[in-house]
Amino acid sequence: MKNQKKIHVFLVDDDALFLKSLEIEFIQHTDFKIDTFASGELCLNYLSYNPDLIVLDYKLDGNAINGIDTLDRIKSFNPDIPVLILSCQDKIEIANECMQHKALDYLVKTEMVFMHLQIKMSKLFKFHVIEKKLRWFE
């Protein structure tokens, strides 16, 4: 049996209750390695751990840097790290802004957010597996 590396996900949100509930969902329903951060600054300090995905809050109220600034710094560090942005705001302008800053996608925080995250992540990681196989054939 192969010893596969666990998928490593960073969860970044200033809402402690939401962050903890999201972490619990991941722990209960996935076999991922999860790290949580209450601010963009903390997340940026640990980018050298090379997460496979970052789930990032758009606003990050009360922090020195907001979600977009954090996203820009993540992409400066490594443009290949996929970042999913979460927000309570259901506005197309915000979604467009996030995509212009190279977010993988924008999801609205609803009671279904974990299910939507699972769908997005499943597609993302299936794509990466296919991409690796194609590189092997080259």
Domains of the chain, residue spans? 8-137
In angstroms, the Cα distances linking 11 to 32, 102, 106, 135 are 12, 18, 14, 29
Q: In this structure, what token pair is assigned to residue 29?
A: 């329903």
The CATH class, in words, for 8-137 is alpha beta
User: What is the chain's pLDDT, residue by residue, as a tens digit (138 residues)?
Assistant: 455 688 899 999 999 999 999 999 999 988 899 999 999 999 999 999 999 999 999 999 777 899 999 999 999 999 999 999 999 999 999 999 999 999 999 999 988 888 888 888 888 776 665 665 556 666
Residues 40/73, Cβ–Cβ less than 8 Å: yes
Residue listed under structure tokens 């302008």: 93
pLDDT in tens, 27-63: 998 889 999 999 999 999 999 999 999 999 999 977 7
Q: In this structure, are strands 33-37 and 105-108 parallel, antiparallel, or unpaired?
A: unpaired
For the entire predicted model, the pTM comes to 0.85
CA distance 138 to 23: 38
